[in-house]
Amino acid sequence: MSADVPGSARVPRAGFGVAPKRTFLLFRGAPCFAHRRKVRDREDALASTRDACATRIIALTLCLTSPLSGATLQQQIDVAAPNETIRVEAGVHGGPIVINKPVTLIGEPGAEIRGNGTGKVVTVAATDVTLRGLRITGSGLQLSDDDAAIFITGNHSIIENCVIADSLHGIYLKKISGAEILNNRIQGKTTLDPSSEPVEKGIGTSTENCDTTLVSNRRGNGIHQWNCEGNLLRGNEISDTRDGIYFSFTNNSRVENNLVHHVRYGLHYMYSDGNVFENNTFSENAAGAAIMFSKELVVRGNRFINNRGHRAYGLIFQSSDRSRLEKNEITQNAVGLSFNQCNENQIARNRVMQNYIGLRFGSNSDGNRFTENVFMQNLHPVETGASDVSGSRWAVNGVGNFWDGSFELDLDRDGVNDLPHRELDLFGVLRRDFPAVAFLSDSPALKLLRFAEERAALPGISYIEDPAPLNSHFWKVRAQRAARAIQKIADSPNER
């Protein structure tokens, strides 16, 4: 068949001796126009598809290289990769939030996670989660449900530089280890929202409509730990909660450099062993610290000051054994230091000053060792309640304690008096029921009894006997001895 016959199947072979232009001129009539229309439609479809794909590729690229625009904080957490850092923008982000993967949330200035007034605001249910620089508010108020601003069940969590307010518990740690709670500000919820019910409904039956105060017993704790191990609490400020820091069945943790004020118990502590409390301040609370049913603690360098009120305490030690209380300041409390049913504790170099009762020492406390403590300017230095205190030692290695008003007789000038000191408890528990007896604490009659007791123990009077009381020169003598020892070492030839 010839190549130039119209409709021939060999037309595409026109390149063999036939010009392409001449070949296409052979296609005429309706079939040619239909073919062109199909080609044009196909090209338009390809162009439309190409434009649509380009739009989608650009959108996908933008999604991969920029934050999720308009996504909620929970959605950002849900799509984040493990160990990713999410920057929480300024503004209010609605809670509750659940974190179930290891991520870091860093709040920009003004970033707040606000709950809806029920349940927990932020739940940390994964290990290695960090919250930093956030304001967190608005938990529920159900103590039975452990409602909290931050509720943690994941190990190795870090909560740092956060502000927590308007919540029941501040930070609740449950059965975790290795957490770090650092430099947070926690303020408890002190008021309730006014009732929306008509006032007439409560007339004669309740004051809830008018009284919006949330009483202390209905508040939560600032930092609450239950069944935990090896956590670090450092640099936090806590106020207006029920208890500032609460320990229950929590061991081998450290509590350092915290400030707790205007709460019920600054530290409420039970059934927890091997913990260290160092350089904290507990002030203006119903009780600075209550440590109960525990053992092998270190309480060092803390300040328990100005905890006032009826039956208020600086530091309560109840049924706690084999612990060390060192270099604490216990001043201006209703009762400074209280011991009851405690055994084998070391109490050294504490300052117990300006309290209504300096030391309350109860029954069944044996093997405790008191040395180098200062009991000074307390209205009633000791209260024993007629308990037997002979089972404890009031001097260690010939070094007792300083008692203001002690008769100073130091012939060898070593800073330790040569006569024992007996600190009387004449009024016992009477001062609790009859506070007016405080007016007799500095009376001439009491001074005469003290003078007589210093020289010979009087029968029928409860007292503490310090066999080696310190005088005001003790610390100067010790410093001089230490300086001479250092100089002697410096002057001696180096051993080779």
Query: How large is the average pLDDT for residues 24-49?
Result: 53
Q: Within 13 A of 112's CA, how many CA atoms are on the CB side? A: 12
Cβ-Cβ contacts under 8 Å for 377 (sequence gap 6 or more):
353, 354, 404
The pLDDT assigned to 194 comes to 53
The pLDDT assigned to 491 comes to 82
Per-residue CA distances from 153 to 102, 157, 182, 233 (Å): 13, 9, 17, 16
This prediction's pTM: 0.78
Query: How large is the average pLDDT for residues 392-397?
Result: 95
The pLDDT assigned to 58 comes to 40
Query: How large is the average pLDDT for residues 407-415?
Result: 88
Query: How large is the average pLDDT for residues 361-385?
Result: 91
Q: Which of helix, strand or coil describes residue 225?
A: strand
Q: Which residue has the higher pLDDT, 402 or 200?
A: 402
Query: How large is the average pLDDT for residues 19-34?
Result: 44
67-77, pLDDT tens digit by residue? 455 789 999 99
By the 8 A CB rule, do 154 and 122 touch?
Answer: no
pLDDT at 441 over 70: no
Instruction: Determine the residue type at 9.
Output: A
Q: Which residue has the higher pLDDT, 148 or 495?
A: 148
Query: How large is the average pLDDT for residues 438-467?
Result: 69
Dihedral angle computed from the Cα positions of residues 43, 44, 50 and 55, in that order, rounded to the nearest 10 degrees: 170
Q: Where are the alpha helices (DSSP H) in 66-139?
A: 73-79
* Confidence category of residue 218, pLDDT binned at 50, 70, 90: confident
Query: How large is the average pLDDT for residues 26-32?
Result: 43
pLDDT at 493 over 90: no
* Confidence category of residue 114, pLDDT binned at 50, 70, 90: very high
Q: Residue 216: which domain range?
A: 83-193+212-480
pLDDT at 487 over 50: yes
The pLDDT assigned to 72 comes to 94
Cβ-Cβ contacts under 8 Å for 167 (sequence gap 6 or more):
115, 121, 136, 137, 138, 139, 147, 148, 149, 188, 189, 220
Q: Which residue has the higher pLDDT, 449 or 422?
A: 422
Asked if the structure places residue 56 within a domain, the reply is no
Q: Which residue has the higher pLDDT, 405 or 327?
A: 327
Per-residue CA distances from 207 to 201, 203, 215, 228 (Å): 10, 8, 13, 40
Asked if the structure places residue 408 within a domain, the reply is yes
By the 8 A CB rule, do 174 and 150 touch?
Answer: no
306 φψ region: left (φ > 0), alpha (ψ -120 to 50), beta (else): left
- The rounded distance, in Å, linking the Cα atoms of 450 and 32 is 131
Q: Which residue has the higher pLDDT, 44 or 382?
A: 382
Q: Which residue has the higher pLDDT, 444 or 109?
A: 109
* Confidence category of residue 435, pLDDT binned at 50, 70, 90: low
Q: Maximum Cα–Cα distance for the chain, whole Å?
A: 148
Dihedral angle computed from the Cα positions of residues 209, 187, 121 and 162, in that order, rounded to the nearest 10 degrees: 160
Q: Which residue has the higher pLDDT, 365 or 260?
A: 260
Query: How large is the average pLDDT for residues 143-155?
Result: 96
Q: How many helices (H) and strands (E) does the chain have?
A: 6, 39
* Confidence category of residue 442, pLDDT binned at 50, 70, 90: low
Asked if the structure places residue 27 within a domain, the reply is no
pLDDT at 165 over 60: yes
Q: Where are the beta strands (DSSP E) in 32-109?
A: 85-88, 91-94, 97-99, 104-107
CATH code (residue 470): 2.160.20.10
Exposure of 338 by Cβ count < 10 A (0-12 exposed, 13-18 middle, 19+ buried)?
buried
Q: What is the percent of the chain with per-residue pLDDT over 90, rounded to a whole number?
A: 58
The pLDDT assigned to 2 comes to 43
The pLDDT assigned to 239 comes to 96
Query: How large is the average pLDDT for residues 476-485?
Result: 89
Q: Which residue has the higher pLDDT, 434 or 71?
A: 71
Q: Give which of 298, 448, 475, 469 is closest to 375, Cα–Cα.
A: 469
Q: Which residue has the higher pLDDT, 62 or 188?
A: 188
The pLDDT assigned to 11 comes to 40
Give the other-Cβ count within 10 Å of 21's Cβ.
Answer: 8
The pLDDT assigned to 389 comes to 82
The pLDDT assigned to 451 comes to 63
Cβ-Cβ contacts under 8 Å for 410 (sequence gap 6 or more):
416, 417, 418, 471, 473
Asked if the structure places residue 301 within a domain, the reply is yes
Asked if the structure places residue 117 within a domain, the reply is yes
Query: How large is the average pLDDT for residues 334-350?
Result: 95
Asked if the structure places residue 53 within a domain, the reply is no
Query: How large is the average pLDDT for residues 200-211?
Result: 42
Asked if the structure places residue 278 within a domain, the reply is yes
Place of tokens 């380009």: 54
The pLDDT assigned to 158 comes to 98
Give the least confident one: 11-15, 51-55, 374-378, 484-488. 11-15
Element (H, E) at 13: none
By the 8 A CB rule, do 285 and 309 touch?
Answer: no
Q: Which residue has the higher pLDDT, 348 or 438?
A: 348
Q: What is the mean pLDDT of the chain?
A: 82
- Structural domain total, the chain: 1
Residues in the chain: 496
pLDDT at 66 over 70: no
Asked if the structure places residue 269 within a domain, the reply is yes
* Confidence category of residue 208, pLDDT binned at 50, 70, 90: very low
* Confidence category of residue 46, pLDDT binned at 50, 70, 90: low
* Confidence category of residue 202, pLDDT binned at 50, 70, 90: very low
Residue 327 structure tokens: 């270099």
Q: Highest mean pLDDT: which of 41-55, 411-425, 434-448?
A: 411-425
Element (H, E) at 59: helix 30-65
